[in-house]
Amino acid sequence: MRALLIFSFMFCCVFSQSQSTIVMGYLTDSKSKAPLNKGTILVDKSTKGTTANKEGFYKLKFKNKEEIILHFSFVGYESISKTVNLPKGIDTIRLNVQLRTEAQIIQSINIVADRKPEKVHGNQQYSISDFEFHGNDLIFLTYEKTLKKRSSIVWVDRNQNLKGRLEIPSRVNELYCDYRNRIYALGNEHVYQLTFKRDRLGLIRLPIDDLTQF
């Protein structure tokens, strides 16, 4: 009987020392509730972490911890940190986290024409109708405030320094970037592909039917 009591006492000690707590839950978009596949969950002041699966589910296991801080992040979303208490006797803690998309703020700039247009509506400034990213630079689709509304491509760096400007032969309505990061200027009659060779801006005219089918 005494041996049984000693064995039970030792078993309880070992069990209490090896007791672990699992923190698990879902990482999702705050608006659409869509799962954030491969979202990152990191433990503060540690190399430990994991990623969410395609359903947004994650799971982490801790031993002999009283409190942890988890950092949740995903590309294009605001990161968030959560403090989690791990009380003794609790083997599972569910923690669902929602992330909000980051606000993209683009500063307004004025691009002034280097020649006087034939007719001016108010001033000689361009209007920006569309933009795309080229690496860390910005590509603007602009048009002069004239009756003819000539379209131009304007290339500026992150500090808003002008790197290139090119007038488009015909009117275009928008910019389009494909999966290979090629930028096109789309019009009702013509399509132009933008080229960047040795920091020089160029245009290649393409058949509009080919791009429409693509």
What was the pLDDT predicted at 187?
82
Nearest to 97 by CA among 158, 162, 160, 39: 39
What was the pLDDT predicted at 146?
54
**35: which 2 tokens?**
């799962």
What was the pLDDT predicted at 58?
96
CA distance 78 to 80: 7
Q: With the C-alpha atoms ordered 90, 48, 28, 85, is the resulting torsion angle positive or negative?
A: positive
What was the pLDDT predicted at 212?
57
CATH among 1.20.140.10, 3.40.50.300, 2.60.40.1120, 3.40.50.170 for 19-99: 2.60.40.1120
Residues ≥6 apart with Cβ < 8 Å to 145: 117, 120, 121, 122, 123, 124, 125, 126, 127
State the 10-residue block means of pLDDT for the chain, 214 residues long.
47 51 94 93 91 94 89 92 89 94 63 46 58 85 67 83 84 82 84 85 80 57
What was the pLDDT predicted at 93?
93
What was the pLDDT predicted at 32?
93
Q: What is the number of residues in the chain? A: 214
Domain ranges of the chain: 19-99, 126-213
What was the pLDDT predicted at 149?
62
